[in-house]
Amino acid sequence: MTIRAAADGSALGNPGPAGWAWYIDDRSWAAGGWKHATNNQAELTAVLQFFRATAHLDDDLLILCDSQYVINCVTKWMPGWKKKGWRKADGKAVMNLELLKEIDAELVGRTYRFEWVKGHANHPLNEAADSRARAVSEAYQRGAPIPSGPGFVRSGDAAAARPSETTLAAPSEPTPSLFSFDDEPGFDDGPSFDDEPGLDAEHAPTVDLTITLSAPEYERLRSRSKSRGTTPEQTLRDLI
């Protein structure tokens, strides 16, 4: 049997109040989050918590996800990163390392596949996961109770709902990135070239990006660049 679920994340302000959620149906879903995290961290955690919630099962898993970053991390890039000591092709440390290591540990012995779905396009499962993840981020923003969900429940399953880990105790707050450009609400994930194992950065396809910063934001960027002895452009590139 294949268990089909959507996994999604939300970060208001990105980084900011954040929530994650996985959703099978109205009887079987879970959510959680933090006061401050990035959207990528929330998306990765949704996948991690779904693997943990189904760790006692032998079923195949089909995970619907609107983040190509998450799908590429799990299905393409992690083997190469591990061979390089969890380093990217340019030698820099992989971002969100602890989450990725935890996901990697959960993959052992599991049969799974990912399917990309376009976010905010009225896909029923994706919309259900997205709305629950956003409800958590908004609850953290307001200081309201966090909707955690029933956990994994299957009709006729002898085991009752097994709550995901953060329904019992909230995880430690992840260290957010300075900037996060992808996976904003309404953003349509396109091709992604960064962090791919073995990718020769010198010959990789390039994309021109224009970013508008306020004067205080630019001064912070310039100050950070000066302390590193690099240009503002290189500082931004190093964050990717």
Active centre residues (catalytic): 8-9, 43, 66, 120, 130
Give the separation between CA 226 and CA 208, rounded to whole angstroms: 23
Q: Taking the CA of residue 160 as centre, how many other CA atoms within 13 Å lie in the half-sphere pointing to its CB? A: 1
Helices 124-142, 39-53: crossing angle, 10 deg rounding: 120
Q: How far is CA 29 from the centre of its chain?
A: 17
**What's the token pair of residue 132?**
């629950």
Residues contacting 232, CB < 8 A, separation 6+: 218, 221, 222, 225
- For 176-204, give one letter per residue: b (16+ CB within 10 A) or e: bbebbebbeeeeebeebebbbeebeeeee
